[in-house]
Each structure stands twice: as C-alpha cells, then as structure tokens.
Structure 1
Amino acid sequence: MAHPSQLGFQDAAAPIMEELLHFHDHTLMIVFLISTLVLYTITIMMSTKLTNTNSMDAQEVEMIWTILPAIIMIVIALPSLRILYLMDEMDTPHITIKSTGHQWYWSYEFSDYDLLMFDSYMTPNDSLTTGHFRLLEVDNRLVTPTDSPVRMLISADDVLHSWTIPSLGVKTDAIPGRLNQNTFITSRPGVYYGQCSEMCGANHSFMPIVMESVPLSDFETWNLSMLEST
C-alpha cells in the first residue's frame, strides 16, 4: 500500500517485483552517471582555453559517442531480457484464475474449482468500515495462496481494461475477445490493492482490485465457504 508523500515504489510482495526494483535502481544509476558526464562535458566546453586547443581529435570524439552508448544499451538490455523471461515463464502453476473486466467491476473464475466464480464491486463510501480504504475496497476480495505460482488469464467483456497490482509487479491489459496471461507468486501474506489502469470510461477510477494472499490452509477454508455460498 502506498503512503502519503511516497516517492518510490510500493514494497515488493513478489519475487518479480523485487527484480523490477533492482532493475530500476540499476538503470537509474546509469542515467545518473550519464547525466553527470554530460553536465561535466558542457561545463568544460564553456572554457575558452579548452575550445581553442586540439587536445581531442574529432575522430576520437565520434568513436567515444558511438561505442559508449552501445555498451550502455547492452548493460541495460541484458538484465531487462532476463526479467522479461522470468515474468513470462511458468510451467506448472498451482492455480489458474480468469479475471474479466466489465464496466465497472471485475469478475473472477477459478478454473481448478467448479462453480467458483464471483463478481467484485467497489465498496460504497457509506458501507466502509474501520481500516478500509476509500475507493480501493471491494465487496468480494480475490484470495490466493501464499508461495504458490498463480496464473491469471485476463480478458474483458466490453472495452479495454487493465488488471494491475503494483506491489506484485503485475500489469496486464484486458482486451475484449483476447485472453492475456500473467503469472506471479506472492512471497508473504497480506492484502494488496490495485486499480484498472486503462481509461475504460466514466467510472474508470471506481473498479479497484483487492487481492488477499493467505496460507494454503486458509485459502482452502475460504474456497469451501465460497462454494457453499454459491
């Protein structure tokens, strides 16, 4: 959950998000070094003595600004490709959940459990209780087991939506007529909030996502209670 005046990312709750945070810091340091080098070059070029000397040939300058950016791109691309591979590959998910975006709510269907499907609407302000967040709480939370690979199949029923939970590093577009896939593993129990991050209409900001990660035994208990209520 984000905090007031927070400048950085939310705390990572999944291994993929931890990798993304490390890659962000890695890239930010490269950008800082480039900015420092450019500022230093501009500063020394303002010196009349330097501009009137032949201490650096034009050929050498062209070699530097051709080879150095190529090296920088390689240093950035290699860890980026690694993370893309890790985000896409999961051979044996323990559970598969289909999420469908509607105007303006989400519906969930557990493919591994017959008849387990439900809708998730935003909780109105007059129904909020202590500890709930305005515009972020829902009536039916999505519950998943901790430390278990989860595969999300994401689609939409009407217009473009986007299923997004920042602390998990998950952001996948929900497209009508198309089934997109995302996988994640939660590394600790907790409640994680997200919102539709695609401009899907007038109530775009009123279709939040709340996922609760619990131990496997608690997940089975929740699963049985949901099946009994349907």
Structure 2
Amino acid sequence: MRFLTAIVLTWICASTSAFAFDVPVDGAWGLQPAVTPIMERITEFHTLLLWIIIPITLFVMALLIWVMVRYNSKSNPVPSKNSHNTLLEVVWTALPVVILIAISVFSFPLLYYQEEIPDADFTIKATGNQWNWTYEYPDQGAMEYMSIMVPEDEIQPGQYRNLSVDYPLVVPVNATVRLQVTATDVIHNFAMPAFGTKIDAIPGRINEAWFQVTEEGAYYGQCSELCGQGHAFMPIEIRVVSQDTFDAWIAAEPGTDESNAVIAAYEAARDTRLAQLD
C-alpha cells in the first residue's frame, strides 16, 4: 500500500506543470506559469530534473523493498559473509557522478543566462526596508516611492490578502528591465516566482538581475528572507502594461493616486475588450 501511495505521489509531482497558478493558492502544486524567458528555461530545467529524479526514486524504492523481502532474517537465516563487491562499488560511485555531470551541462548555461544582463531598456532600483519596498526609476527621472501592503480590512475586489500593495511596480510588456536591489537595514529578498527572479537585498550592496515579461497582467511576489516580525507583510506587486500606458503612468508620477488611476483605466479598458471578444 505504501508503495502504491509513493507511486501516486511521484506521478503528482511529475504533473505539477498542469496545476500552476498565477498567485499562490492553498494546496496547489508546482511552479507558477512562466512569463519571462528566464522562467521558461527554469521550468524546462525543472521538467528535466523530474525525469531524472523520478526513475531514481522508483529504483531506490524497489531496491529497498527487494532487500527487505529477500534478505530479512526469516527468508535469509544465514547472512552472507561478503564484505564488498568491487564492481558494485564502482557503479554506485560512477553513476551518480555521470548524473551530476549531465545535470551540470544544462544548469551552468541557465545560471549564465540569468547572471549575464543584456542591454536593458531601463533600470528599476528596489530597496527593501522593515517592512516594505521603495522603488525608483532613475532613467525616467521618477522620484522614489514607497510600496506598502494593503491591510486585510481594506482589501478591494480583485486584490489579494498579503499580496496586493497600495502602489505597485509598473513595467511595459516585452521591455528588458535591469533590476538593482539593495536594503536599508537588514537582508531582504526580492522574489517574483512567475519571473524566475529571486535576489538578495543586502544593506550597503547593490545586486543586479533582469527580466523581460512577455504577457500583460498583474504578478505577485514577496520578500523571501527572514527579515523580522513583519517579514510576511512586505509583498511585491508588478503590473505589466502597454508602452503607452507605462509612459502615461510615469507622467502621472509613480506612487500617487493619479498613477494608480492610469493603471485602473487601462485595465478596465482591457477587460472591456476581452469581454467583447467573448
């Protein structure tokens, strides 16, 4: 029975891509749908690892069951006197090495792709504080603004508990964005699962990453470093819009009610268009 249960759980793990969600959902399995080239490659690498890990898990499980049945004291009252098997020792040492080399062939290019920042359309600076984020668009000359989680008793329809913020980050679709991350007090972590972005925010140091979002929409992340009692309440919300809407948002001064109105008007018009297509 335990063996069958293990097989079912393994199959569920192998099927995680079918159960992905845009936002965290209770009881959900798997990665969020990829919306950047980085996350697409991470998802492909994750699938590759599943094809490697699942057969290994099944083989080891079958081997354990065989050993317990074949070599228990009842079935094998006279134990073997052999202390080692040279061929077997060579195989179980060499085979993991070969597997790790095969994994590295795919993982190193992915790490390089993440770290090598291409020519960016513009830069965003994100600063972690206890316990909120401040954002700045230096290339657009926009002033720094603070992004704070919406309190649970103020959540509006379409917003998410512990994920929605008062003033989100906004980027244009298909733009290559250089992300600079730092902190003012303790170590934080800027994590956006759908982007494949997860980078430490360290006081006195600037770390860099990049992303290029290929689908418009709202995406959510959180600080992924244990940074104090308010750690669970400093989410990240990014709205991906058209270039014209982004330009209008910048003109309305990020971090103001006027800039939020620009995004709200854009999303209302988009929803209307989608409803007409349906």
Distance 2:30 2:58 in 1: 22
Cα displacement string for residues 155-203 of structure 1 (whole angstroms, at most 9, x for unaligned residues): 0001111111111111111100010111111110010011111111111
Counterpart of 2:117 in 1: which secondary structure? coil
Per mean C-alpha deviation after superposition, the further-off stretch among 188-197 and 22-31 is: 22-31
In the other structure, the counterpart of 2:107 is: 80
Distance 2:219 2:252 in 1: 21
In the other structure, the counterpart of 1:25 is: 47
TM-score by length of structure 2 reads 0.76
Report deviation, 1:21: 1.3
Q: Kindly tell me: are residues 42 and 122 of structure 1, through their superposed partners in 2, closer, same or farther at Cα, counting changes over 3 Å? A: closer
Counterpart of 1:97 in 2: which secondary structure? strand
Cα displacement string for residues 49-86 of structure 1 (whole angstroms, at most 9, x for unaligned residues): 99999xxx922212211221111001111111111011
TM-score by length of structure 1 reads 0.91
Report deviation, 1:219: 0.9
Of 134, 147, 151, 2:161 maps to 134
In the other structure, the counterpart of 1:202 is: 229
Of 203, 221, 227, 2:248 maps to 221
Distance 1:159 1:4 in 2: 29
Whether the aligned pair in 1 keeps the contact of 2:142 and 2:250 (CA below 8 Å) is no
- Letter matched to residue 71 of structure 1: V
Of 204, 212, 222, 2:239 maps to 212
In the other structure, the counterpart of 1:119 is: 146
Task: Select the structure that is richer in helix.
Answer: 2
Q: Does 1:89 align with 2:121?
A: no
Report deviation, 1:137: 1.1
- Letter matched to residue 105 of structure 1: N
User: 5+ residue gaps in structure 2?
Assistant: 1-22, 260-278
Counterpart of 1:153 in 2: which secondary structure? strand
Distance 1:140 1:67 in 2: 54
Cα displacement string for residues 13-62 of structure 1 (whole angstroms, at most 9, x for unaligned residues): 11111111111121122111112222333344443699999xxx922212
- Letter matched to residue 82 of structure 1: P
In the other structure, the counterpart of 1:99 is: 126
How many residues are paired up?
227
- Letter matched to residue 47 of structure 1: R
Counterpart of 2:109 in 1: which secondary structure? helix
Q: Percent identity?
A: 37
Compare relative contact order (CA 8 Å, sep 6+) and give the higher one, 1 or 2.
1
CA RMSD of aligned residues (A): 2.3
- Letter matched to residue 60 of structure 2: V
In the other structure, the counterpart of 2:13 is: none
Q: Kindly tell me: are residues 128 and 42 of structure 1, through their superposed partners in 2, closer, same or farther at Cα, counting changes over 3 Å? A: closer
Cα displacement string for residues 104-148 of structure 1 (whole angstroms, at most 9, x for unaligned residues): 111111120124321111112333211111221111110011111
Counterpart of 1:116 in 2: which secondary structure? strand
Distance 1:19 1:29 in 2: 16
